[in-house]
């Protein structure tokens, strides 16, 4: 099961990915509205094992510690390239917005190619730096969670500290566009798309 909802002032998509047989689940990119996300989990009757972060910008991490408190035992994962963003308001960009979000460190670091089990489902980590140094995507049997790397008709911006357009385009073309064309793509902002649509229509990838 995949469900997504836009959270917070910047409308970053937060996703629930669950094995409905075991009711085990992960939360991907809880950027804001921690209580709303927690109630969503309760409505579905899920047990959250992991909070996984595609990258460390504030609009994708803001509710992590609130959810830690609400859920209890849960492991938070982020790539090493963005790990310091959790604990540094300047690096996660919140200081520029006047909010100074400083969170606890991650419980574990994500690695390219790593696989995580969620009941009978699996998520594979795909490293795609460029929007930030530690950007990752998560590939499941039901679709790709692309964070701020790939959007419907666009790509992530690369003008933040640590960004690189060359790196981002390389990762998208070599690691994402090679996936099956019918792969559903669930981005960090905006509507879902497919690999086929982006190969055909995305102006940044032509």
pLDDT beneath 50: ranges in the chain: none
CB 12 within 8 A of CB 31: yes
Cα 22 to Cα 119: distance, rounded to the nearest angstrom: 5
For 119, the enclosing helix (H) or strand (E) is none
Strand partners, 100: none
The pLDDT assigned to 114 comes to 98
165 three-state secondary structure:
helix
Any alpha helices (H) in 151-194, and if so which ranges? Answer: 165-171
Domain spans of the chain?
2-201
Q: What is the pLDDT of residue 97?
A: 87
Write out the two tokens for 70: 């609400």
Burial class from Cβ neighbours inside 10 Å (0-12, 13-18, 19+) for residue 198 reads: buried
DSSP 75-137: EEEEEGGGGGGGT-TTTTTGGGGT-----PPPSEEE-TT-EEEETTEEEEEEE-TTSSTT-EE
Q: How many residues does the chain have?
A: 206
DSSP state of 39: H
Instruction: Note the pLDDT of residue 206.
Output: 87
The C-alpha atoms of residue 24 and residue 59 are separated, in whole angstroms, by 25
Distance of alpha carbon 178 from alpha carbon 181, whole angstroms: 8
Q: Among the CATH numbers 3.20.20.70, 3.40.50.300, 3.60.15.10, 3.10.20.310, which is that of 2-201?
A: 3.60.15.10
Residue 137 pLDDT: 98
C-beta separation of 182 from 174 below 8 A: no
Q: How far is CA 169 from the centre of its chain?
A: 18
Specify which residues 78 forms β-bridges with: 109
């Amino acid at each position: 099961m995949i469900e997504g909802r836009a959270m917070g002032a910047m409308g970053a998509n937060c996703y629930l990915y669950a094995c409905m047989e075991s009711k085990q689940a992960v939360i991907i990119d809880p950027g804001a509205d921690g209580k709303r996300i927690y109630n969503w989990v309760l409505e579905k009757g899920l047990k959250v094992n992991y909070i996984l972060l595609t990258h460390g910008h504030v609009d994708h991490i803001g509710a992590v510690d609130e959810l830690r408190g609400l859920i209890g035992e849960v492991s938070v994962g982020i790539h090493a390239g963005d790990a310091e963003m959790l604990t540094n308001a300047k690096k996660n960009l919140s200081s520029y917005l006047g909010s100074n979000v400083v969170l606890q460190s991650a419980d574990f670091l994500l690695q390219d190619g790593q696989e995580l089990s969620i009941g009978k489902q699996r998520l594979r980590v795909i490293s795609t730096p460029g929007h930030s140094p530690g950007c990752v995507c998560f590939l499941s049997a039901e679709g790709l969670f692309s964070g701020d790397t790939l959007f419907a008709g666009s790509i992530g911006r690369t003008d933040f500290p640590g960004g690189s357009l060359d790196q981002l385009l390389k990762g998208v073309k070599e690691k994402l566009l090679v996936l099956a064309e019918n792969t559903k793509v669930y981005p960090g902002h905006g509507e879902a798309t497919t690999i086929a649509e982006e190969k055909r229509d995305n102006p940044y990838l032509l």
